[in-house]
Amino acid sequence: MTILVFGRTGQVATELARLPDVLCLGRKVADLTDPAACADIVKSHRPRAVINAAAYTNVDRAEQEERIAHLVNAESPKAIAQACADIEVPFVHISTDYVFDGTGQTPWTPDARTCPQNVYGRTKQSGEVAIRDVGGRFAILRTSWVFSPHRENFVKSMLGLGATREVLRVVADQIGGPTPARDIALACHTIANELIDVPHKTGVYHLAGTPDCSRAEFARKIFAAAQVSCDVEDILTSEFPTPAKRPVNSRLNCESLECEFGIPRPDWRSYLQDQFADG
């Protein structure tokens, strides 16, 4: 029996595909705009666990495509969770720091009150609520600032822009923990396997890289690792308006994940040095 993964080409799904006994399903096979079909896939495969690594992640476009974002981020996860509960297998679902309002400076704990400030965050929150309401064996893993050598992400954007500019203006008041997709994939795999035998660990957990930093600080580290000669000028979020409001405080308290599953926060600086030193 395999671990069934919804998602095949995204950052985390690409890393999951490298792990043993994993079957990743792309959009052509598993379309998350069709919740009923997703549930049928789970029941037909009858895997030993399911991981949902697929989502509608275009934060700004979601402001105009709320119906599709809700289908993908809320209704399909609910249908998958129900199918998993029906056949009694664990379900691991990846969520986001965007379910919080982004205020203050204290790291958000898994039981902190959610209050998303944009459509993307609201649809991910709705998915979380639906999964908890279904019950069964599940883990919701919230993470932040995901990066990898795959697909579009902050690191690749900075490298692309930094290669053509002498100075780049980057927000310095958004604080969070950059998280390598590889470590999220490994965490999901570990959690899924453990929930098979230890169902009482069902719940909500956080995983974010360490140390916390600003977007501007992260950009400086990216350029240093890639040996790109581009200066970073600190600006405020208010100086870089976007269609969707971004959280300023994306710090996540990850203590319960390490306590229950032995998974520590990954040091993103080491990953950067290993993966992006050559640009």
Predicted local distance difference test score (pLDDT) of residue 276: 54
Helix (H, G, I), strand (E, B) or coil at 254: coil
Q: Do residues 33 and 6 lie in contact, with contact meaning Cβ atoms separated by under 8 Å?
A: no
The catalytic residues are 120
Residue 155: what residue type?
A: V
Residue-level pLDDT at 278: 47
Give 148's contacts (C-beta < 8 A, 6+ positions apart).
Answer: 11, 14, 15, 155, 180, 181, 182, 275
User: What gap in Å lies between CA 123 and CA 128, rounded to an integer?
Assistant: 9
- Mean pLDDT for back-to-back runs of 10 residues, the chain (279 residues): 94 96 95 97 97 97 98 98 98 98 97 98 98 97 96 94 96 98 98 97 98 98 94 96 96 98 97 69
Alpha carbons within 13 A on the beta-carbon side of 83 = 26
Pairwise CA distance, residues 148 & 186, whole Å: 14
Amino acid at 94: I
Strands 203-207, 138-143: parallel, antiparallel or unpaired by DSSP? Answer: parallel
Task: Retrieve residue 270's tokens.
Answer: 């080491």
The predicted structure's pLDDT at residue 1: 74
Tokens (6 digits) for 153: 């992400």
DSSP string, 58-92: -TTGGGT-HHHHHIIIIIHHHHHHHHHHHHT--EE
pLDDT given for residue 279 in this prediction: 44
The pTM of the full predicted model, rounded to 2 decimals, is 0.96
Q: Are 133 and 88 in contact (CB under 8 A)?
A: no
